[in-house]
Amino acid sequence: MVGTDLRQQLNNYIQSMRDQGILDNQFQSVQALKTEENPHFVLETVTGFCNDADNGIAQMTRYLEGPVVDFTNLTGLSHFLRGSSSSIGGIRMALACRDLRRASEANNKQGCIEGMARLKHEYNSLKEGLNNISQIERQMIGNAQRGRQ
């Protein structure tokens, strides 16, 4: 069955991401929140998260690359993204945010630069994985809707 295959495909994919440490159990919790009334929950949450993260990282890059590093805002934003990413299950990205925050709190510019680079890397992995998951999700939802029709 396509539906089953897709679900299996999704689960496998998520598992691989978990194996890599990109995702943790939290993502499962988020998935569990999907309901019949709200089948798009995961999709919407993931989309929202990626938007926030894209904006946040762009903003943090600006803070870091300005003539004077804006550590205060950098700290705040890295803390923000830490919360976001951990809520969605992006544990590695969350850890990268934490480290970046520490560097920023210490006004350590070099540390921030390295931390930022790592954060971007982790985010890219996470984002790619989430996009793939979203794709499968969309397919599943589409199939389910077609199935109902």
Partner 1 sequence: MATMQRVVAAAQSSVSTSGGGGGGGGATNYASSKGVAASCASGTAATELVVISDQFPVGLRVLVVDDDVTCLRILEQMLRRCRYQVTTCSQATVALNLLRERKGCFDVVLSDVHMPDMDGFKLLELVGLEMDLPVIMMSADGRTSAVMRGIRHGACDYLIKPIREEELKNIWQHVVRKKWNENKEVEHSGSMEENDRHKRGNDDSEYASSANEGTDGILKAQKKRSNVKDEDDGELENDDPSTSKKPRVVWSVELHQQFVSAVNQLGLDKAVPKRILELMNVPGLTRENVASHLQKFRLYLKRLSGVAQQQGGVSNTMCGPVDPNVKLGRFDIQALAASGQIPPQTLAALHAELLGRPTANLIPGMDQPTLLQASVQGPKRIPIEHGVAFGQPLVKCQSNVSKHFPQSMISSVEDVSAGFGVWPSNNVNTVVPSSNLSGLSTQNSNMLMDILQQQQRQQQQSQQQSLPPEPSRTINVQPSCLVVPSQSASFQAGNSPASVSQNCSFNRNSVIDYSLLSSQSNNSLVNIGHFSNGDLKTTGALSGYSGPGSISPSVSSCSGNADSSMGRQVQSSTITFGNARQPGFVHNMHDIQGSYGSKTGEVLDQGPLQNLGFVGKGTCIPSHFAVDEFESPMSNMNHGKLFMENNGIRVKQEPSVGFMDNTKVGLPVLQQFSSNDIMSVFTE
Q: Which residues in this chain contact partner 1 in the complex, by CB under 8 A?
A: 26, 29-30, 33, 38, 41, 44-45, 48-49, 52, 76, 79-80, 82-84, 86-89, 94, 98
Cβ-based nearer residue to partner 1, 91 or 112: 91
Cβ-based nearer residue to partner 1, 9 or 79: 79
Per residue, the 3-state secondary structure of 56-124, as one string, reads HHHHHHHHHHCCCCCHHHHHHHHHHHHHHHHHHCCHHHHHHHHHHHHHHHCCCHHHHHHHHHHHHHHHH
Nearest approach, Cβ of residue 59 and partner 1 (Å):
12
Task: State the Cα angle at 16 between 41 and 44, rounded to 5°.
Answer: 15
Cβ proximity of 20 and 123 under 8 Å: no
Cβ-based nearer residue to partner 1, 47 or 61: 47
Task: State the Cα angle at 49 between 46 and 52, rounded to 5°.
Answer: 150
Nearest approach, Cβ of residue 12 and partner 1 (Å):
23
Task: State the Cα angle at 136 between 131 and 141, rounded to 5°.
Answer: 120
Q: How many residues does the chain have?
A: 149
Cβ-based nearer residue to partner 1, 85 or 125: 85
Nearest approach, Cβ of residue 4 and partner 1 (Å):
25
Cβ-based nearer residue to partner 1, 30 or 116: 30
Query: Which pair of tokens denotes residue 135?
Result: 């794709």
Nearest approach, Cβ of residue 5 and partner 1 (Å):
27
Nearest approach, Cβ of residue 44 and partner 1 (Å):
7
